[in-house]
Structures are given as structure tokens and as C-alpha cells.
Amino acid sequence: MPRPRPPLVPLTAAVFALLGALSAPLAQAAPTTILFIGNSFTFGEPAGAAPVVERFRTRTVTDLNGSGIGGVPALFKAFTEEAGLDYQVSLETSPGKGLDWHYANALKTISKPFDVAVLQSYSTLDAAKPGNPATLIKYSGLVAQALRAQNPKIDIRLDSTWSRPDQTYQPKGAWYGKPIGQMALDVRAGYDQAAQAGRMRVVPVGQAFSRAIGAGLADPNPYDGIEAGKINLWAPDNYHASAHGYYLEALTIFGQVTGRDPRSLGANEAVAREIGIAPEMAAALQRVAAEQLADK
């Protein structure tokens, strides 16, 4: 005589939900969203002979102003892809502007939440008062406040920029007669004050430039010609960066933001090849960025 079957147990809503979750494809983690705010020191200046940087892989990033800029944000994006990281990169830039301008004119453009932001202001800290950090301190804090209103946990970095030969070697320059690295130190001091006031971190791009010079990779004074075997970190205007300079900037930001060693990209990585940097120099600049980040 056959044994009776046990009664069927009705499936509850919770069981259905569990079965559905197990049968659904694994969801991919959302990309890390990062916003770059700055001027031509962030986007690459065509008049400074770096159009290859300004128009680098423009379709891989979102230019919130719709002006078709790739720039350092696109270099950063390419590095993250090579490293197997998932970053969604946006930028809001305008030539010759400081964070005061972005605060007054671009808040609507950047009014959405981001996970990370990299802020870069005017190259002399204040266009009217070179070396004075007051405007930077005030407006980096206000921009940070606006970004935190969208995402209180946003990680905000300040891009401390490089010494300018035109400000160092020319009689009208604010740093005339001082060593080429002094402007970067003074700019960094201003960014440090802003970072402390606004709970942010500083990316030591200017110090990376100075380290490349100290290591004998880059010529310190483009006005007297470029020494054989060395690179020029600056464009012909002796103000903006060259492709080598923007590459070093992007490496330094990449290393600090992601926590990855820039040297892990390797001498034959694609960005250097695409913008005309020799493999041995790419490796040397990666080393400079890594060493500077270790020193902070």
C-alpha cells in the first residue's frame, strides 16, 4: 500500500522573494563618481601646446559645460581603466578662473551628488594678490559646503599646482629671483590652510613637478633652453604644462585618489603612448609621482 504524501506547504512572500533574489543575475557595483573643478591647469590649454591633452578621449568623460574637454580628468579615467577600476568622471572647468568664480557661476551645473571631487583654483592663489590664500580658503570651503549638501560623505581633494617659470624668471613675476620650487611651496602652504579649514586633503602636484626637476628629469628654466636628455614640464608659454606636465599631474591625482601606486601602470601604458611620452620617461614620471605621494 503506497505511503501518503506529506501535505504541501504554501510558499510565503518571503520565500518567493528569496528565490527571486537567488535566480536574479548578480548586480554590478555602482561606479565611483568623481568631479573635477578647475581651469586650464586641469583641462589642458591648447594655446599652451597641449591640445593632445585637452581633447584626449573626450567621450570617456562628461564635460558638464558641454565644451568637449577631456584633459586631466580623461587621463585619470584612462589610468583607472588600466588599473581595473570603475570611475565615472565629470568635469566643470573654465579658463583662468578660481574657485570663487565656480562658486558664483557654476553651482547649478554641479548640483548633484558625487563620491569624490578634485578642486583646483587660480595658479597664484589670487590673481590680484599673488600668494595670498584668503580667497582660496574662503571659496574652497563654500564649494565644499555645496558639494556636501548633495553628499555629506563626499571625499574632497585640493589640487595644489606647480611653479610657473613666467612668475619666477621674469622681472614682473611675483616670485622673481626666487628658486623655481618656491612658488610651488607657497601655493602648497595656501592649499594646506584651505584643506585644514575645510576638512579636505591636498594633492601635491606642484611638489611632484619640483621633484622631477630635483631628480634631473626636467629642466628647471625653459628660458635658457632645455638641457639635453631632460624634458620641459611647461608649455612654450612657460605658464601652462606640457603633455609631460599634465601627465605627471594626472598620475599624482590618480595615485592619491585611488590609493594605487602610479608605478603599477608600467612604462608601456597606453596614455603615455597616446600623448607622445616615451616609455622610459613614463616610468620615470610614474616613479616621481609615487615618491612624492609617499612624502605627501
Band of pLDDT at residue 29, cut at 50, 70 and 90: confident
- 221 three-state secondary structure: coil
Q: What is the pLDDT of residues 148-179, one digit of tens each?
A: 999 999 999 999 999 999 999 999 999 999 99
Q: Is residue 97 part of a domain?
A: yes
Given a cut of 90, is residue 96 above it in pLDDT?
Answer: yes
Closest CA to 256 of 201, 187, 209: 201
DSSP 197: H
Q: What is the pTM of this model?
A: 0.90
Average of per-residue pLDDT across 53-72:
96
Residue-range definition of the domain harbouring residue 62: 30-295
- 91 three-state secondary structure: strand
Q: Is residue 191 part of a domain?
A: yes
Q: Which three cell numbers stand for residue 34?
A: 568623481
Q: Is residue 154 part of a domain?
A: yes
Task: Determine what percent of the chain is predicted with pLDDT higher than 90.
Answer: 87
Q: How many domains does the chain have?
A: 1
Band of pLDDT at residue 231, cut at 50, 70 and 90: very high
Q: Is residue 11 part of a domain?
A: no
Given a cut of 90, is residue 51 above it in pLDDT?
Answer: no
Q: Is residue 78 part of a domain?
A: yes
Given a cut of 50, is residue 19 above it in pLDDT?
Answer: no
Contact 248/209 with Cβ under 8 angstroms?
A: yes
Comparing 33-47, 123-137, 186-200, 259-273, which segment has the lowest mean pLDDT?
Answer: 33-47
pLDDT at res. 23: 44
Q: How many CB atoms lie within 10 A of CB 105?
A: 12
Q: Is residue 92 part of a domain?
A: yes
Q: What angle do CA 244, 253, 233 make, to 5 degrees?
A: 20
CATH of the domain at 281: 3.40.50.1110
Report how far residue 74's alpha carbon sits from residue 58's, in angstroms, rounded to the nearest whole number: 7
Q: Is residue 8 part of a domain?
A: no
Mean pLDDT across the chain, nearest whole number? 92
pLDDT at res. 16: 38
Residue 170 CA from chain centroid, whole number: 29
pLDDT at res. 44: 86
Q: What are phi and psi of 60, to 5 degrees?
A: -90, -10
Q: Is residue 23 part of a domain?
A: no
Report how far residue 68's alpha carbon sits from residue 44's, in angstroms, rounded to the nearest whole number: 12
